[in-house]
Homo-oligomer: A and B are copies of this chain.
Amino acid sequence: MNPPPSPSPAALGDATDEPAERSGRGGVRGGRKQDRSRDADILDATLEVLADVGFAGLTMDLVAQTAHAGKATLYRRWPSKSELIIDAVGHLKRTQVDVEHLPDTGTLRSDLLALFKEQSPDEAEQRIRAVAGVMSLISHDRSFGDAAHSVLVEPWADAHYILMKRAVDRGEIPADADIHSVCQVAPTMAAYRALVQRKPFDLKFLLSMIDGVILPALADS
């Protein structure tokens, strides 16, 4: 549903795709290759530091030290602290919803509830705190919003979409329901709650969404 949002420092790779364009005399162009395995180390270190000391306490020196890297290595890959953090947040996405093993209880309502209960509160908390801690970056870099969205909302909207599609397939809800719009509601409002209001996405709120908005919106007219 959402294409992989080109995550990482691409500029360098692109530039070296074209060898021997220096001068007419043959293009010697050697040199040690950039060790791309450092990328992941650095991004992991960034997330670790973020979790440890928060955004306010994150410094490039600390990241470099944690990743056992030189600052120059960081700046060779990312032009600024902001870009590094944005990439690191984009790196979070892998740990998310397992679309292959969604709950299948027979009714949409219990499916949605099961999906909510399935996730580890700790992991969710950590993910939200990481993203919330760096909301600062929204004003620095437009693309941060996309990264945050793709981490916090899209996977859940996808999951909701699948659950609703199944409900349509088994005739639980009418085929003409706008499940594309409805599947966005709970994940988006949960993210807003977490990021802006800093209130937990708890069961009470989820129930008000499911029983007050989602299921009524999908019911037979």
Contact = CB atoms under 8 A, between A and B. Distances in A.
Interface in A141-158: 142, 145-146, 148-149
Contact of A216 (B142, B197, B216): B216
Nearest first, the 10 A-B pairs at minimum CB distance are A181-B212, A178-B212, A217-B217, A136-B136, A216-B217, A55-B139, A135-B138, A192-B192, A145-B196, A136-B139
A219 interface: yes
Contacts of A185: 185, 189, 213
Nearest to A186: B185
B189 A196 contact: no
**A interface, how many residues as a size bin?**
35 or more
Nearest to A199: B145
Copies of this subunit: 4
Contacts of A198: 138, 142, 145
10 contacts: A56-B139, A132-B138, A136-B136, A136-B137, A149-B197, A180-B212, A181-B208, A181-B212, A212-B217, A220-B221
A107 to B, nearest CB: 16
Contacts of A145: 195-198
Given A178-B211, A185-B189, A138 B216 contact: no
